[in-house]
């Protein structure tokens, strides 16, 4: 867990009173919507189809139980009893009243939660691996660096009016769970030959209308120089980024247009000016941040406790364990992924009751800590293995033990036309239907790891480009039509998917996906060959032939 200091607490509280005043002036008519819009966006307040939407940041995906309870409280008191966890470690409430927003913000501020920079053309929530600090083999806890960057960039005037929004993600593991290659800046924590900590820096990744996989701009930037290096990138972006055209304003376009060589030369030049300035980080600063992250007092526990051995006889428990439980860096402990993807339900939603109950379980079994991952699931990061059977039973009662993590029903989906004012088509009902089609656990298991990602428009909030199967909703003559891609991925081997054929209608999407999966089962070389590997080996054509032959 991370403990905020006095500066942060004051900042968050001042921000609430400032916003309360702004809302008052808006409601009285003193501020017009034009004047107010930028202010509300700076506080995470959007307008959706049915209501205002309120986006709250969960920095680097770490929540304490009192914070999760506060989110449950907001869902219950100011919203309709649930929240939606997003792909960028935020939570969104869909039915908030503007007049009550300052109260909701004040209630969240009491537990150190805020909505700053969750929208607008500024530095967004710095995201990280949801297994940070507990993943085996990680270089060090990437949240220390996420926090450093958060502190430096929050309300930083130079980064508050960027050409467009700016997103950074950090990982410290070889397996990238933070999707760093589709961020404006992706940082991979590494050590150089001398054993010093630093970063491989990637730039220019992003999805949306013009998707790009991030490119490595520098193979090693020393940890002490990371702020100046990021600042150099942002300065080059601030100077050359296109402010005239919203579709060309992201850094990915600039990197693409200049080319990575020229872009990196510009950054290098800028960097040399500022590298040895006050932006150089003292070890004490890092140590101070490090000391604010607290870790549990783990017990010495056996690798294979009796409780686990006994529970292994229960096939339902085993099915859940195989998909939801992952190795922890401390012996005797596990990381438990909590699926927010029950069959037939909207991906990523959690009710206030589930949040409260999960907070209780985290207190009991995970040293009071919860994590949020970009796949729209939650995680309990420190569960003793002996507690796994009891935890499973409790999660199951809450509808939070669907044994489908990383399987075909573990779908990422944006709100789509059911909520979003920018949408062209619905996303959530497509996801719901797909989970019903593949509800059979044996079938889902037979298919193995397969990520379906769905977006309701080209903005790509549902990461469709990087889904193993990607589904994009578009509009054609007033009707919802869906384009289907295969072969995308968001991890260290990030790639964009390729279209497999003409768009299909709402009612046909699930049939087509079933055909794609059938094609895969027929085409794979052996059961262990994952969908994504079969596509890589064979390309799109054999899938296209099989799926569209009869259509």
**Residue 420 binds ligand SF4, judged by CB under 6 A:** yes
- Selection from ligand SF4, another protein, ligand HEM, none that 398 binds (CB < 5 to 8 A by kind) is another protein
Nearest to 214 by CA among 235, 199, 225: 199
Q: Among 230, 405, 447, 461, which residue interacts with ligand HEM (rule: CB under 6 A)?
A: 461
Residue 324: which residues within 8 A CB-CB, separation 6 or more? 336, 337, 338, 339, 401, 403, 405
Q: 456, 423 in Cβ contact below 8 A?
A: yes
Q: How far apart are the C-alpha atoms of 54 and 92, rounded to whole Å?
A: 5
User: Could you tell me the smallest distance in angstroms from the CB atom of residue 422 to ligand SF4?
Assistant: 4
- Selection from another protein, ligand HEM, ligand SF4, none that 455 binds (CB < 5 to 8 A by kind) is ligand SF4
Q: Which stretch binds another protein (CB under 8 A): 26-34, 188-196, 220-228, 330-338?
A: 26-34
Query: Any bridge partners for residue 325, and if so which?
Result: 336
CA distances from 293 to 4, 52, 133, 202, 442 (A): 10, 34, 10, 26, 41
Q: In the range 451-470, which residues lie near ligand SF4 by CB under 6 A?
A: 455-457, 459-462
Nearest to 403 by CA among 312, 321, 315: 321
Nearest residue (CB) to ligand HEM, 208 versus 381: 208
User: Could you tell me the smallest distance in angstroms from the CB atom of residue 371 to ligand SF4?
Assistant: 23
> In 430-549, at which residue ranges do the beta strands (DSSP E only) sit?
452-455, 469-476, 479-486, 498-499, 504-505
Q: Among 87, 354, 404, 435, which residue interacts with ligand HEM (rule: CB under 6 A)?
A: 87
CA distances from 260 to 168, 214, 251, 254, 269 (A): 18, 10, 11, 9, 14
Nearest residue (CB) to another protein, 207 versus 400: 400
Q: Among 19, 46, 54, 229, which residue interacts with ligand HEM (rule: CB under 6 A)?
A: 46
User: Could you tell me the smallest distance in angstroms from the CB atom of residue 370 to another protein?
Assistant: 17
Q: In the range 171-230, which residues lie near ligand HEM by CB under 6 A?
A: 206-209
Q: Among 422, 443, 521, 530, which residue interacts with ligand SF4 (rule: CB under 6 A)?
A: 422
* Residue 462 CB coordination number (10 Å): 33
Nearest residue (CB) to another protein, 16 versus 350: 350
Nearest residue (CB) to another protein, 5 versus 479: 479
**Residue 53 binds ligand SF4, judged by CB under 6 A:** no
Site string for another protein, 299-338 (x = CB under 8 A): ----------------------------------------
Q: 452, 486 in Cβ contact below 8 A?
A: no
Q: In the range 410-439, which residues lie near another protein by CB under 8 A?
A: 417-419, 421-426, 428-429, 432
For the chain, the first-to-last Cα distance in angstroms comes to 53
Nearest residue (CB) to ligand SF4, 88 versus 386: 88
Torsion of CA 343, 66, 359, 102, to 10 degrees: -20
Q: Among 12, 23, 41, 53, which residue interacts with ligand HEM (rule: CB under 6 A)?
A: 53
CA 104 to chain CA centroid, Å, is: 23
- Selection from ligand HEM, another protein, ligand SF4, none that 354 binds (CB < 5 to 8 A by kind) is another protein
Count of all residues that appear for the chain in the document = 551
Q: Which stretch binds another protein (CB under 8 A): 96-104, 138-146, 213-221, 329-337?
A: 96-104
How many amino acids of this chain bind ligand HEM (CB under 6 A)?
Answer: 21
**Residue 58 binds ligand HEM, judged by CB under 6 A:** no
Nearest residue (CB) to another protein, 307 versus 418: 418
Nearest to 19 by CA among 112, 116, 151, 95: 116
**Residue 414 binds ligand HEM, judged by CB under 6 A:** yes
Q: 190, 198 in Cβ contact below 8 A?
A: yes
**For residues 375-405, b (16+ Cβ closer than 10 Å) or e, as one string?**
bbbbbbbbbbbbbbbebbebbeebbbbbbbb
CA distances from 499 to 179, 408, 450, 470, 543 (A): 21, 19, 17, 9, 10
> What tokens were used for 219?
């193979």
Residues that bind another protein in the complex, under the rule CB under 8 A: 26-29, 32-33, 47, 49-52, 81-82, 95-99, 342, 344-346, 349, 351, 353-354, 398-399, 417-419, 421-426, 428-429, 432, 457, 475, 478, 480
Residues that bind ligand HEM (CB under 6 A): 46, 48, 53, 86-88, 92, 164, 167, 206-209, 250, 414-415, 420, 422, 459-461
The residues of the shown chain that bind ligand SF4, judged by CB under 6 A, are 414-416, 420, 422-423, 455-457, 459-462
């Amino acid at each position: 867990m991370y403990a905020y200091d006095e500066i942060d607490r004051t900042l968050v509280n001042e921000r609430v009173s400032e916003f309360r005043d702004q809302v008052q002036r808006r409601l009285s008519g003193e501020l017009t919507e034009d004047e107010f819009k930028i202010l509300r966006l700076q506080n995470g307040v959007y307008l959706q189809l049915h209501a205002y939407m309120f986006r709250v940041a969960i920095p680097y995906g770490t929540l304490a139980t009192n914070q999760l309870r506060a989110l449950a409280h907001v869902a219950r008191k100011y919203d309709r009893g649930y929240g939606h966890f997003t792909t960028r470690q935020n939570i969104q409430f869909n039915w908030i009243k503007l007049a009550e927003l300052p109260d909701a913000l004040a209630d969240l501020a009491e537990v150190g939660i805020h909505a700053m920079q969750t929208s607008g053309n500024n530095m967004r929530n710095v995201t990280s691996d949801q297994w940070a600090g507990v993943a085996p083999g990680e270089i060090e806890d990437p949240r220390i660096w996420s926090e450093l960057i958060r502190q430096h960039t929050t309300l930083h005037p130079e980064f508050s009016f960027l050409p467009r929004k700016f997103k950074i993600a950090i990982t410290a593991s070889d397996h990238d769970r933070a999707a760093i290659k589709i961020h404006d800046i992706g940082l991979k924590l590494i050590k150089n030959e001398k054993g010093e900590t630093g970063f491989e820096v990637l730039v220019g990744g992003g999805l949306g209308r013009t998707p790009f996989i991030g490119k490595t701009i520098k193979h090693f930037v020393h940890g002490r120089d990371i702020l100046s290096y990021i600042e150099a990138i942002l300065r080059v972006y601030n100077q050359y980024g296109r402010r005239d055209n919203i579709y060309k304003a992201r850094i990915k376009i600039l990197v693409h247009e200049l080319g990575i060589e020229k872009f990196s030369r510009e950054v290098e030049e800028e960097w040399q000016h500022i590298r040895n300035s006050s932006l150089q980080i003292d070890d004490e600063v890092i140590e101070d941040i490090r000391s604010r992250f607290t870790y549990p007092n783990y017990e010495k526990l056996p690798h294979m406790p009796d409780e686990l051995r006994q529970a292994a006889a229960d096939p339902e428990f085993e099915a859940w364990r195989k998909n939801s439980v992952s190795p922890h860096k401390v012996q005797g402990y596990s990381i438990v992924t909590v699926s927010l993807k029950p069959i037939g339900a909207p991906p990523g939603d959690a009710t206030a009751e589930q949040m409260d109950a999960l907070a209780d379980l985290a207190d009991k079994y995970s040293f009071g800590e919860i994590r949020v991952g970009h796949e729209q699931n939650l995680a309990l990061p420190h569960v003793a293995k002996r507690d796994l059977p009891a935890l499973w039973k409790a999660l199951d009662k809450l509808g939070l033990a669907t044994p489908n993590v990383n399987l075909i029903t573990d779908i990422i989906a944006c709100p789509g036309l059911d909520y979003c004012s920018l949408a062209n088509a619905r996303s959530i009902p497509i996801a719901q239907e797909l989970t019903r089609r593949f509800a059979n656990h044996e079938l889902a298991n037979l298919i193995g790891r397969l990520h379906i990602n769905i977006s309701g428009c080209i903005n790509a909030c549902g990461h469709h480009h990087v889904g193993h199967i990607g589904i994009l909703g578009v509009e054609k003559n007033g009707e919802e039509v869906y384009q289907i891609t295969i072969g995308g991925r968001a991890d260290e081997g990030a790639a964009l998917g390729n279209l497999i054929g003409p768009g299909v209608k709402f009612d046909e999407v699930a049939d087509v996906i079933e055909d794609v999966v059938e094609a895969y089962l027929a085409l794979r070389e052996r059961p262990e060959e994952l969908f994504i590997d079969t596509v890589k080996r064979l390309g799109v054509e054999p899938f296209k032939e099989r799926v569209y032959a009869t259509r």
